[in-house]
Amino acid sequence: MERVKEILTNPVAAILKAKKEKNINKTMLILLLSWLLTAISFFFVTFNTMLTIVALGSFIAVFVSGILFSLFYSYIVDLVMNILGGKGKYYETLTATTYSSLPISVGLFLTSILFLINQLLGLTIGFIIISITTALTLSIYFRAIKEFYSTDMIITFIGFFLIIYIFMVAFYISIAFTMSSSIFFNILSNFRF
């Protein structure tokens, strides 16, 4: 719990401690906590408007897919940052991803509680909370990548924009293949051999 508090109140110290310790267990616990808070947030929001089974399904889906996405995303970041000249390993990327995801997950959790109390309250104060936690999230991410990979801020920004571009290209190509295979299948199904 001390590291969680430190990430939220003094993220630079938390990053430097993680760089020195290289404790994968702490990183994994924080990763689980981040996605647990995010999943609970989705549960609260869907529980308020949908059936309980849908809320439970969203909880499980967000929790499991979030953890898997963090692991995959960390691999991509490690690949990109090492090609750009960084000197880090997968652990460093996973720690940067994990530490930076904690503030936004806390923000989502607090906002979802506010939405349960009152939607207007959740909208107004939630906006402020999400703004602050998003600022923390992005700042922690960039600082952690910079520290763990021993790069300057320009290389870190280039890496970040490359990663966004990579996911956009992968998304559009996946959709294009899906659509083209559906169209091809429909064309073939119209012909009788």
Yes or no: say if 54 and 31 are a contact pair by the CB < 8 Å rule. no
Nearest Cα to Cα of residue 91 among 6, 16, 163, 27 = 27
Q: CA 24, 26, 19 angle in degrees (round to 5)?
A: 65
Query: For the whole prediction, is pTM greater than 0.75?
Result: yes
* pLDDT per position as a tens digit, 2-38: 888 888 889 889 888 888 888 889 999 999 999 999 9
Closest by CA position to 30, among listed 45, 42, 46, 15: 15
Instruction: Judge whether residue 125 has pLDDT over 80.
Output: yes
